[in-house]
């Protein structure tokens, strides 16, 4: 009996030794890995999008020469292509020889052109400020453009309402007799200051007042001067 127990112990020890010396494989840990104790493994990130420099784009030799807002509210961009000395202008949505105007930002002085898969921002500051947009930048730009066009449309609506609003003519300060008195008083001040008189006939009492003050010569009913300066009187009497 003692011998049997001893042999059983020897077999267990031998089995343990063999198990300890056997290398572990990935299959031995598959049960644990299937439970993902460390979370979902990250997916492979896509390679970064390659954006060509402006010098290699279709707009390499293009200059944004002007931005204009037309009467109907549409924004127009004028472009010069130095490559063949060509000038063209587009409103948003128009195409010229495969080049489409996608957007105009009047405040930032920018225009967005597209040809094929390339989208380029031209700036009034010149080629140094131009930029080729990535796909993500294109999406953001189009969202901004939509919001901006709504803003432009609202501003146009406000301008149209302002044009249609009737012009209010200010009410005169003086009317009737009050206006006549004001003109008479103003005429007297003009004469006192030696300025050219207005085409306003003074009343007899106001005329007499200016005569008494020495600003007007006395005249008779026919409008002739009744008193002459001494120089004129001396001449008429033949002295």
pLDDT at 14 over 60: no
Give the span between the Cα atoms of 70 and 49, in whole angstroms: 38
Q: How many CB atoms are located within 10 Å of the residue 131 CB?
A: 18
Instruction: Judge whether 188 and 202 are in contact, CB under 8 Å.
Output: yes
Q: How many CB atoms are located within 10 Å of the residue 226 CB?
A: 9
Give the span between the Cα atoms of 11 and 95, in whole angstroms: 89
Q: Quickly state the pLDDT bin for 11 (edges 50, 70, 90).
A: very low
Tell the burial category of 124 from Cβ atoms under 10 Å away from its Cβ (0-12, 13-18, 19+).
middle
| 192-to-13, 106, 125, 189, 218 alpha-carbon distances in Å | 138, 57, 62, 5, 15
Reduced to 3 states, what is the DSSP secondary structure of residue 210?
Answer: helix
The predicted-structure confidence for 19-69, as pLDDT tens digits, reads as follows: 455 566 667 667 776 777 766 666 666 677 777 888 889 998 999 999 988
**By C-alpha distance, which of 55, 62, 129 is closest to 96?**
62
Q: How many CB atoms are located within 10 Å of the residue 123 CB?
A: 17
The predicted-structure confidence for 150-195, as pLDDT tens digits, reads as follows: 666 676 776 677 677 777 778 888 888 888 989 989 989 999 998 9
∠ CA 58-48-134 to the nearest 5 degrees? 35
Q: What is the pLDDT of residue 118?
A: 92
Instruction: Judge whether 186 and 180 are in contact, CB under 8 Å.
Output: no
> Is 24 or 112 the better-scoring residue by pLDDT?
112
């Amino acid at each position: 009996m003692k011998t049997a127990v001893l042999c059983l112990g020897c077999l267990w020890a031998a089995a343990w030794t063999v198990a300890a010396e056997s290398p572990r494989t990935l299959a031995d840990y598959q049960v644990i890995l299937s439970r993902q104790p460390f979370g979902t493994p990250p997916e492979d990130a896509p390679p970064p999008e390659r954006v060509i420099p402006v010098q290699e784009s279709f707009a390499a030799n293009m200059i944004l020469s002007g931005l204009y807002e037309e009467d109907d509210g549409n924004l127009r961009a004028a472009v010069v292509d130095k490559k063949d000395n060509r000038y063209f202008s587009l409103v948003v949505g128009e195409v010229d020889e495969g080049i489409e105007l996608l957007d105009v930002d009047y405040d930032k002085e920018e225009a967005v052109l597209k040809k094929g898969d390339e989208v380029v921002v031209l700036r009034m500051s010149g080629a140094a400020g131009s930029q080729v947009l990535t796909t993500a930048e294109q999406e953001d730009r189009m969202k901004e453009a939509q919001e901006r066009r709504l803003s432009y449309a609202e501003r146009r609506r406000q301008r149209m309402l302002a044009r249609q609003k009737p012009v209010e003519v200010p009410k005169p300060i003086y009317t009737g007799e009050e206006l006549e008195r004001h003109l008479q008083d103003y005429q007297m001040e003009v004469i006192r200051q030696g300025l050219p008189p207005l085409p306003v006939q003074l009343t007899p009492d106001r005329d007499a007042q200016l005569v008494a003050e020495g600003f007007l010569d006395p005249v008779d009913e026919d409008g002739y001067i009744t008193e002459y300066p001494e120089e004129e009187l001396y001449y008429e009497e033949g002295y």
